[in-house]
Amino acid sequence: MSLLSLPGGSYRITIDYDTASEALCRTWYQTAWGTDYGDSILLVKEAHTKTFEQISVHRMEDFYLTSGNPDLTIRSVTVQPTGQLQRVLTFICLCLCLAANILVWIRKKGVWSRLSFWQKNAVWGVLLIGFASSVPLFTNYLLNGADLSFHLMRIEGLAAGLAEGSFPVKLQPLWINDYRYPVSVMYGDLLLYPVALLRLLGFPLQTTYKIYLFMMNLLTAAVAYYCGKKIADDIPAALTCSLMYTFAGYRLTNMYSTNALGAVTSLLFLPVVFLGLWTLLNRKTSEKRIGPVLLLVTGYTGLVQSHLLGFEMAVLFSVLVCLLNLKAFFRELLTLVMAAVLTILLNAGFLVPMFDYMLHQNLHVFHAAPANLQQTGLFLPQIFQMFPFYTESAAGGTSSPVYMGIGNELLMGVGTAFFAILILYLWEHTVVRDRIRQQFAEESGSCGRLAGLMALGMLMSGYVFPWKSLGDLPAAGRFFSVFQFATRFTMAALVFGLMLTAYVLKHLRSVPGDTLRRTIMAGLCIVALISGGYAAEMLIAQGNPLKVTGASGLDTRTAVISGEYVPEGTYGVLLNNPEPEPEEGVIVSNYRKEKGVITFWAENTLEKEGYIKVPFLNYMGYHVADMETGRELYFGNGDQNVILTIVPAGYSGAVKVYFKEPKLWRLAELVSLMALIGTVSAVWVCLRRGRGTGL
């Protein structure tokens, strides 16, 4: 059905419809490059209206909707221009002006000219690695994968919560047809606030998601370079470390295929944690503690605020690192305790609400069946796999069970380049061992421990690891079950592989001449670049394209994936009614839902208590109160765990249903704020007094 032609710009489009069953619509329009499409819009039969965004810098000719549902009747379509595109373009212009001013300032101050030849190459190298690993982002669509809708909704829900005036956002709006979802309580989203603000400014949802991934690539390249430089004290070796780690097939698979945003962010912060811990436990007496402690606290905080599974893995392997450095551990025990306490204080604003829900809210995640890690382990060829060989059906999926073999698999192991590092380590310590001991006597043991930890991570990602036996142990079984997939332990193997790479390349200096060392570094870079580049190109070629401008382009019910954070016994696909549902004899009028608050006039004509089902899931923190007297009304769980408000016999009045953070949560947020101010102040004082941090 052809509707109209729209000039380039941004629009809010509202569909008024009737349908006997759920219908899926898609917008189509003609552009300079031919027919193009927009969001897929889900229309539920209970709602009757749907509003979505349309944004394009190009003119959209013959804009129309299509649907394969014969029961759908569209009564009217309303198109309203908005200032969304103008705000986005203005912001981009301001950013370009700011960048130009920064470049002028750098040139005026001679910052760039004071850098050495290799330092300039380091800056260019990190930028190029970040850009090159972001090639799949330079399209006008996303590559659809297993967790994409979940993470898109996290950004959209966070932006909607901020728009409602909530800060920090706890119960995110829009999820499950706006019945709300406590993803911000149970899953740290601090790092998503910047892109959520961009979404509020008007950027399309898929653009904000791409910006986040792009920044992850740049930051990961920079962190891997810093880690390599700190250990190897050599810029070419550090750039080799950065390229190998950033282009690791496992990382790119999580970024572009499975859309595991938490794992991608964990791979940014895990090197920070273990570099800090390793530096602290191997420091000389004259070296400062504050630098390693800052790395530890920053790394652990980043993991807590982005991926709890990554944090748990960091804790597990931190214990192993401490056991391997037992003497140094006891020497630095007080420092480690102080770092742990500071990390807890900085994250109290997230940890306290999370533990409060864990103790007092009956969520589905606590009833999930234990994961069978044994069946998700890798075969040996997969651990060192260089090229992915999968079809379109597997491009957005996850690793298959062991019984299905290797065919049609994603890159889930450490890859060929890091396997070569293990071979190089063995060669160094069998052929040139004496030279290494003479030149790097204090580091010979460190290399072996890192190789052992890397090998352990690879073993734990394999199907031969005794996961079944561990699962039969009550405490160990519950702990390891939360990791869900054995392949997650590839993250640990990659992090220790990164650090081992820096040591191995550093120790190559003991070999006479520099030709062999340069050849090896070039070979490692080529292998990593070909492997990661091929994987990215395969994903672009065979990935499933998806365009998502906003939440209207997502099924907000299935975005919860397996619904870990819904109350036990809730089925999100059944929560479609946007209106309250009163018992017969109870009258509801003047219903409004604005900024996370539901208000309505309720009148009970019965001679007994009545009830009203309110379209919010019943989570701790909700209140139901009479708007005139402020007296709270009793409420409980209705069908599908929605709020069931009990209306006394003969009651007549205005009712308000709203969420309010408990005072304990607010106190925890204040503690985190004070800890942050104290930490920044302490570091600032050290820098002002010329003491430095040792970073």
Residue 202: exposure state from Cβ atoms within 10 A (0-12, 13-18, ≥19): buried
pLDDT digits (tens, 9 = 90+) for 422-461: 999 999 888 887 787 777 766 667 788 999 999 999 999 9
Question: Average pLDDT for residues 383-389, to the nearest whole number?
Answer: 86
> Helix 261-281 and helix 308-324: axis angle, to 10°?
20
Q: Is 260 helix (H, G, I), strand (E, B) or coil?
A: coil
Cα gap 345→372, rounded to integer Å: 35
Band the pLDDT of 659: cuts 50, 70, 90: very high
Residue 470: exposure state from Cβ atoms within 10 A (0-12, 13-18, ≥19): middle
Mean pLDDT over the full length of the chain = 89
Task: State residue 488's pLDDT score.
Answer: 93
Question: Average pLDDT for residues 386-410, to the nearest whole number?
Answer: 67
Q: pLDDT at residue 251 above 80?
A: yes
Task: State residue 7's pLDDT score.
Answer: 86
Question: Average pLDDT for residues 279-287, to the nearest whole number?
Answer: 81
Task: State residue 402's pLDDT score.
Answer: 73
Task: State residue 360's pLDDT score.
Answer: 92
Cα gap 364→361, rounded to integer Å: 10
DSSP for 428-454, please give it: HHHHSHHHHHHHSGGGHHHHHHHHHHH
Residues pairing with 132 in the sheet: none
Band the pLDDT of 100: cuts 50, 70, 90: very high
CA distances from 386 to 183, 300, 413 (A): 36, 31, 9
Cα gap 528→498, rounded to integer Å: 13
DSSP character for 663?
Answer: H
Question: Average pLDDT for residues 70-91, to the nearest whole number?
Answer: 89
Task: State residue 373's pLDDT score.
Answer: 85
Task: State residue 66's pLDDT score.
Answer: 83
Judge whether 599 and 592 are in contact, CB under 8 Å. Answer: yes
pLDDT digits (tens, 9 = 90+) for 129-179: 999 999 999 998 998 888 999 999 999 999 999 999 999 999 999 999 999
Q: Report the share of the chain in percent with pLDDT over 90.
A: 59
Q: Residue 77 is inside which H or E element, if any? A: strand 73-82
pLDDT digits (tens, 9 = 90+) for 567-621: 998 998 888 888 899 999 999 999 999 999 999 999 999 889 999 999 999 999 9
Domain boundaries, the chain: 2-85, 129-560, 577-661
pLDDT digits (tens, 9 = 90+) for 416-426: 999 999 999 99
Q: Report the share of the chain in percent with pLDDT over 70.
A: 96
Band the pLDDT of 208: cuts 50, 70, 90: very high
Cα gap 241→247, rounded to integer Å: 10
The residue that leads in pLDDT, 383 or 38, is 383
DSSP for 578-625, please give it: -S-EEPTTEEEEEEEEETTEEEEEEEE-SSS-EEEEEEEE--TTEEEE
Question: Average pLDDT for residues 330-358, to the nearest whole number?
Answer: 95
- In the block, tokens 């790394």 appear at 299
Q: pLDDT at residue 401 above 80?
A: no
Question: Which CATH number does 2-85 carry?
Answer: 2.60.60
The CATH architecture annotation of domain 577-661 reads Sandwich (2.60)
